[in-house]
Amino acid sequence: MRIVSGIQPTGNLHLGNYLGAIRNWVRMQDDLEPGSECLFFLADLHAISMPHSPAELRRATLEMVAALVACGIDPNRSVLFNQAQVPAHAELQWLLNGTARMGWLNRMTQFKDKSGKNREGASVALFTYPVLQAADVLLYQATHVPVGEDQKQHLELARDIAQKFNNDFCSEDAPVFTLPEAFIPPAAARIMSLRDGTKKMSKSDPSEMSRIELADDADTIMKKIKKAKTDPEPLPSEMAGLEGRPEALNLVSIYAVLTDEKPEAVLARFAGQGFGVFKPALGEVLVETLSPISQRFRELVEDREALDAILAKGALRAREIGIPTLDATYNALGL
Ligand code: ADP
Ligand code: NA
């Protein structure tokens, strides 16, 4: 198995990013069979498809690497890199632009969502970035690509491009591209704001009290949990009792995700208790899980040299794996 997965570099990382995205990568890496390999990349080339600040992108890329390593991605076991340092991504995208059809891209629902009403003002990159996504995985002969519901269409596109390219330019016994399979990662947790249980925990929420950040120390975590919005009711013994209580549901869910239990099991233990008991228990579990991560994160994020070295090493290995496919693509096209 060769798994390839990308993540947008984003700064001010929080508990939602960790439990909803990063932890899944760490598990993928840790559960891998011998002989299999994971390539994890920061999708910094994708970031320029939307309005962005260069300084912010640079900072977010480094912060994300620090976070990934702090959370358990091991750069000696997984290939960890950013697209921009592996020019083959952009090159292969151009080569595949000859195979991708306008009609295929026109059907991509994400472009419609992200460009909104301002279709004419959207960047060309936003329109063609599914082709870059295809290049991202085809370059490495990925066998498996973890995709959430919203990315299924893009993986189908990558398979269509690979298939058409193999058909048009390769002999049957020597296709250039492997058709990657989707695999649906274990359901990612969705963490809600500590101030409003109906909103996603997000870095764009103006209130810092709404989220636990990866860099928060133990005191800050305890304070934020203590101040988290709740209701006056004690915890019920069954999930049905959390209906209409989004804040309570969120705190119970966070506890369950952290301890790898079902929320039912958490309720069974805390049924009848108020938040005066539950919040300190949750705070403790959070501190226990996040302390080692945030300590490592704070050290790493200050160590520019270490971060650069990690990315350079990852890019070198990614190039080694990708170049033969890139060469074969040029060759098949008569270039
Ligand atoms: P934010 O919403 O803070 O801007 P991003 O959109 O940059 O975060 O998300 C980066 C990754 O983290 C994505 O894979 C996204 O699905 C995940 N993620 C972000 N917020 C949450 C959340 N509250 N719960 C679960 N996953 C989240
Ligand atoms: Na977001």
User: Does the beta carbon of 185 lie inside 6 Å of ligand 1?
Assistant: no
User: Does the beta carbon of 200 lie inside 6 Å of ligand 1?
Assistant: yes
In a domain, 200, yes or no: no
Query: What is the predicted pLDDT for the residue at 234?
Result: 97
Same domain assignment for residues 169 and 89: yes
Closest C-alpha to 20, from 231, 165, 185:
185
Distance 20 CA to ligand 1 centre (A): 7
Same domain assignment for residues 240 and 185: no
Range of the domain at 156: 2-189+304-332
Distance 202 CA to ligand 2 centre (A): 7
Where do we find the tokens 């997965």? 5
Low-confidence ranges of the chain (pLDDT < 50): none
Query: What is the predicted pLDDT for the residue at 205?
Result: 95
* 136 annotated as a binding-site residue: yes
Q: What is the DSSP string of 38-105?
A: EEEEE-HHHHTTS---HHHHHHHHHHHHHHHHHHT--TTTSEEEEGGG-THHHHHHHHHHTTS-HHHH
Same domain assignment for residues 19 and 107: yes
Closest C-alpha to 5, from 51, 34, 36, 39:
39
Distance 105 CA to ligand 1 centre (A): 25
Query: What is the predicted pLDDT for the residue at 168?
Result: 98
User: Does the beta carbon of 151 lie inside 6 Å of ligand 1?
Assistant: no
Catalytic residue list: 114, 200, 203
User: Does the beta carbon of 204 lie inside 6 Å of ligand 1?
Assistant: yes
Query: What is the predicted pLDDT for the residue at 183?
Result: 86
* 5 annotated as a binding-site residue: no
Same domain assignment for residues 13 and 100: yes
Minimum CA distance residue for ligand 1 atom 9? 17
User: Does the beta carbon of 5 lie inside 6 Å of ligand 1?
Assistant: no
Q: Residue 25 corresponds to which tokens in the numbers above?
A: 């990568």
Same domain assignment for residues 222 and 133: no
ipTM for the assembly? 0.93
Query: What is the predicted pLDDT for the residue at 209?
Result: 97
Where do we find the tokens 């891998």? 32
* 204 annotated as a binding-site residue: yes
Query: What is the predicted pLDDT for the residue at 126?
Result: 95
The tens digit of pLDDT for each residue in 24-36 reads: 999 999 999 999 9
* 78 annotated as a binding-site residue: no
Q: Are 69 and 314 in contact, with CB atoms under 8 Å apart?
A: no
Ligand with the closest atom to the CA of 8: 1
Domain with residue 101: its CATH number is: 3.40.50.620
Strand-pair partners of 5: 40
pTM, full prediction: 0.92
Query: What is the predicted pLDDT for the residue at 149?
Result: 79
